[in-house]
Amino acid sequence: IQEFEGMRLTAYLCPAKVWTIGYGHTSAAGAPTVTPGMKITRAKATEILKSDLAVFERGVGNLVKVDLSQNQFDVLVSFAFNCGLGALGKSTLLKRVNAGRFDAVPAELMKWTKGGGKVLPGLVRRRRAEAEMWRGLPNPESEEEGRTSPDTPEASKKITKSKEANAAVVAGGAGAVAAAQQVIPVLQQANGVVSGLSEALGKPAVIAFIVIVVAAAGIWYWRKQRLDEEAS
């Protein structure tokens, strides 16, 4: 209700030419009487809203003769708050509700989209939101777009690709280890060369050189294994 009514701290004429203030409060809902030029505070607007809701909740409770879910009850309170308890009481909407024709309620709600004789986009959005709420569905405007569940083909493809990538990383790592095991003895045999490089270039540079050689050997070994597998 707050979302669709909005809050106005100065009295104004709504599209139906009724003086309104706060969260859609009109004199028909009870005190205070709304007059031109009237001003209120935010705290007062909230206080009036709570009082109005109590009135409409009691009214809907008296009009409805069947059991409703909380969502369904809230929809009728929202409708009555917007259109009035009198309108709800005389409506085909209420007849459908009391007859247990719950499936017909969304269509009945969508008949109430006019203000001052014209269809108003704001009322269309409000009735749609109420219809979705009546069905027990979330507001479509608040739904995240493009969300993919793990059961969808797109998600399955992503998961498959992820598994393939992980397998490649594992295979590459294993290849690097195997290559390193082959390269290390050679490096150990070339200890004299390494010592010479250490003296010439410094120990950090030699360590970096060894790391690069081992990494390159690992990549070469892994690619060789993949080519051998494809050939077989």
The overall longest dimension of the chain from CA atoms, in Å, is 102
Neighbours of 217 (CB within 10 A): 19
Any idea how long the chain is?
Answer: 232
Q: Which residues pair with 119 in a beta bridge?
A: 114
The amino acid at residue 87 is A
- 52-87 residues labelled b (16+ CB within 10 A) or e (exposed): bbebbbebbeebbeeebeeebebbbbbbbbbbbbee
Indicate the helix (H) or strand (E) that contains 208: helix 203-231
130 included as an active-site residue? no
Phi and psi angles of residue 118, each rounded to the nearest 5 degrees, phi first: -120, 145
d(CA 79, CA 106): 12
Catalytic residue among 5, 108, 130, 132: 5
In the block, tokens 């690069």 appear at: 212
Question: Does an H or E element contain 13, and which?
Answer: strand 8-13
CA distances from 144 to 2, 33, 147, 164 (A): 22, 42, 6, 29
Catalytic residue numbers, as ranges: 5
